[in-house]
Amino acid sequence: MTGGLPNGPRGALPQTIRFARDPYGLFLDGKRRYGDPFTVPTLFGRWFVTGQPEGIRTIFGADPAGFGPSAAVPMQWYLGPGSIALLSGRRHLRERQLIMPAFHGTRMRAHTATIQRNTAQRAAQLRPGERITMVPFAKELSRRNVVRVLFGAQDQRRAALLADAVRDVVGAVTPLVAFVPLLRRDLFGLTPWRRIQRHLAAFDALVHAEIRARRSAGGPGDDVVSALLFARDDDGVGLSDRDVRDELVTFLSAGQEAASHLLAWTMYWIHADPDVHARVLAELEPLGREPDPEALVRLPFLSAVIDETLRIHPIGPSVERKLAQPLDVLGHHLPAGTVAVAATVLAHADPRTYPRPELFRPERFLERRFSAAEYLPFGGGVRRCPGSDFAVHETKITMGTLLAGHRFDLVDRPPVRPRRYTVTVGPAGGVRVVYRGPRGKRVAL
Ligand code: HEM
């Protein structure tokens, strides 16, 4: 199972620029021109790209000790060295062992009522005829939800302070600042650096106050902060306060943007296709205008719509593993230093797995199950997204609550294209809709 790298495009720059403009283009063009697998020289090392399930299975199943530092390393200054996204090898596995129970499905289910309340309260503030851009709308909802899940039940004022601090930190980090070290200094107030530092300091102060409150209370509560503070590995060792802070920043930044893109794309696809819209409403109808959130979580067609949304518009176009030791993939011998890339976009557009992949067809998820190497919106193997259950639950409850009680129309004309945001890919223009009023009431516009 050896062989050289397959031929790939020459010259990193044109591909890199194209990548920035069209986040799926690098993969789709690469496959069209060079076949699968192909390689791309990038600023972060040579990428070996495949969307073939067999190759993806090898990458996800490889010994984690053979992976180097994660692709998120440029974000270290902001996430902190204890962030799970930055760790590798044994330390990463230990940290996963500590954090995964905090994200377990049953624990997440404790928050269904809060997610629904947040959605219903926000929807009640909408005025008929009002235009909404879904990405910022969903971000605000997702911020409130994630603050509740991470920090638990606390008074409204503390929740609002935390939500604002999160908004300020996440909002201040632009892609340029995230990836260009030169901009991470205070050039006479000309860069956003000083502002980011101020927001981070305010956020850290609030987080450390929450940690102190939990420690002095002496026992675990129902939130993720408590779960992290009181978690112990097999040797009885837990996380330091600093580690807990780094994990919280990671969850907040990893989750919020991605979750808001999922909600915005779901809204888009439901309203872009009248058949899908009719079927979603027919499924919601028996649940009434204020559906039980647990019932929403179990709706098969709504679940299939969300699965299909993540298939056709993956929020991360690929999953990367930098190799610390050689790995054989699809008969090619990849030397250490290569970045082995499971191309989600290619796997999800493979007509052998998904006939007519260009069509939005939620039914495909009702007709058969897909393997972890065929369907990978949350990555895979030892780094698979710990927030996946929460994100999918949140989307079902939010979307179900919005559509059961309210009417919306799409303002944007399909197709809405994907574009790169800070760390993830989302809908260009943010998906604009107009609010038509509560369901079942005629509203004069
Ligand atoms: C629609 C929403 C989301 C999507 C599509 C998504 C997707 C992903 C993907 C593709 C990865 C990389 C996995 C890999 O390398 O194999 C990842 C990692 C991660 N995600 Fe998510 N995510 C979402 C929401 C969330 C939420 C809500 C949280 C937390 C509250 C979260 C926390 C994380 C963390 C901590 C990692 C790093 C895991 C590690 O390196 O071990 N994500 N996510």
DSSP string covering 247-295:
HHHHHHHHHHHHHHHHHHHHHHHHHH-HHHHHHHHHHHGGG-SS--HHH
Greatest mean pLDDT among 3-7, 221-225, 397-401 lies in 397-401
**Cβ within 8 Å of residue 218, ≥6 positions away:** none
User: Do 376 and 353 form a contact (C-beta atoms < 8 A)?
Assistant: no
Closest CA to 130 of 441, 444, 435, 411: 435
- The continuous run of DSSP H or E covering 310 comes out as helix 300-312
Q: What percent of the chain has pLDDT over 70?
A: 90
CA distances from 263 to 142, 257, 302, 421 (A): 9, 10, 12, 15
Residue 185 tokens, joined: 């200094």
Placement of tokens 């369907």 in the chain: 375
pLDDT of residue 24: 92
pLDDT of residue 100: 86
Ligand 1 contact, 384 CB (< 6 A) = yes
What value does the mean pLDDT take over residues 391-402?
Answer: 96
Confidence of residue 137 (pLDDT cuts 50, 70, 90): very high
Helix (H, G, I), strand (E, B) or coil at 397: helix
Q: Are strands 339-342 and 45-50 parallel, antiparallel or unpaired?
A: parallel
> Measuring from atom 14 of ligand 1, which residue has the nearest CA?
379
User: Over 80: is that where the pLDDT of 11 sits?
Assistant: no
Burial of 224 (0-12, 13-18, 19+ CB in 10 A): buried
User: Do 140 and 264 form a contact (C-beta atoms < 8 A)?
Assistant: no
User: Over 70: is that where the pLDDT of 445 sits?
Assistant: no
- Long-range contacts from 53-58, C-beta under 8 angstroms, 24+ separation: 53/347, 53/350, 53/353, 53/371, 53/373, 53/374, 54/330, 54/373, 55/329, 55/330, 55/342, 56/342, 56/347, 56/373, 56/376, 56/380, 57/371, 57/372, 57/373, 58/327, 58/328, 58/329, 58/330
For residue 178, the CA-to-ligand 1 centroid distance in Å is 18
Of residues 434 and 181, the one with the higher pLDDT is 434
Q: What is the CATH number of domain 12-438?
A: 1.10.630.10
User: Do 311 and 375 form a contact (C-beta atoms < 8 A)?
Assistant: yes
For residue 414, the CA-to-ligand 1 centroid distance in Å is 28
Distance CA 17, CA 276 (A): 36
pLDDT of residue 82: 86
Distance CA 392, CA 371 (A): 18
pLDDT of residue 17: 34
Confidence of residue 72 (pLDDT cuts 50, 70, 90): low
Ligand 1 contact, 345 CB (< 6 A) = no
For residue 272, the CA-to-ligand 1 centroid distance in Å is 27
Residue 380 tokens, joined: 């895979």
What value does the mean pLDDT take over residues 32-47?
Answer: 90
CB atoms within 10 A of CB 234: 7
What value does the mean pLDDT take over residues 70-85?
Answer: 78
Q: How far is CA 217 from the centre of its chain?
A: 32
Ligand 1 contact, 317 CB (< 6 A) = no
Residue 55 tokens, joined: 């190759």
Ligand 1 contact, 251 CB (< 6 A) = yes
Ligand 1 contact, 407 CB (< 6 A) = no
What value does the mean pLDDT take over residues 194-212?
Answer: 89
Q: How far is CA 9 from the centre of its chain?
A: 29
Residue 435 tokens, joined: 């609010």
Atom of ligand 1 nearest to the CA of 252: 30
> Measuring from atom 25 of ligand 1, which residue has the nearest CA?
255
Q: What percent of the chain has pLDDT over 90?
A: 55
CA distances from 17 to 12, 23, 221, 385 (A): 9, 10, 47, 28
What value does the mean pLDDT take over residues 30-52?
Answer: 92
Q: Which of 306, 382, 385, 424 has most ligand 1 atoms within 8 Å of its beta carbon, as the pocket-test mutant? A: 385
pLDDT of residue 338: 94
pLDDT tens-digit map of 405-427 = 999 999 999 999 999 887 789 99
User: Over 60: is that where the pLDDT of 3 sits?
Assistant: no
Q: Which of 253, 310, 378 has most ligand 1 atoms within 8 Å of its beta carbon, as the pocket-test mutant? A: 378
Three-class SS of 69-135: CCCCHHHHHHHCCCCCCCCCHHHHHHHHHHHHHHHCHHHHHCCHHHHHHHHHHHHHCCCCCCEEEHH
Ligand 1 contact, 427 CB (< 6 A) = no
Burial of 409 (0-12, 13-18, 19+ CB in 10 A): exposed
Cis peptide leading into residue 415 (ω within 30°):
yes
For residue 320, the CA-to-ligand 1 centroid distance in Å is 13
User: Over 50: is that where the pLDDT of 1 sits?
Assistant: no
pLDDT of residue 254: 76
- The continuous run of DSSP H or E covering 408 comes out as strand 406-410
Confidence of residue 397 (pLDDT cuts 50, 70, 90): very high
For residue 389, the CA-to-ligand 1 centroid distance in Å is 10
**Cβ within 8 Å of residue 261, ≥6 positions away:** 135, 138, 313, 315, 421, 424, 425, 426, 427
Angle, helix 241-272 to helix 274-284, in steps of 10 degrees: 110
pLDDT tens-digit map of 250-289 = 888 778 889 999 999 999 999 999 999 999 999 999 999 9
Ligand 1 contact, 265 CB (< 6 A) = no
Ligand 1 contact, 149 CB (< 6 A) = no
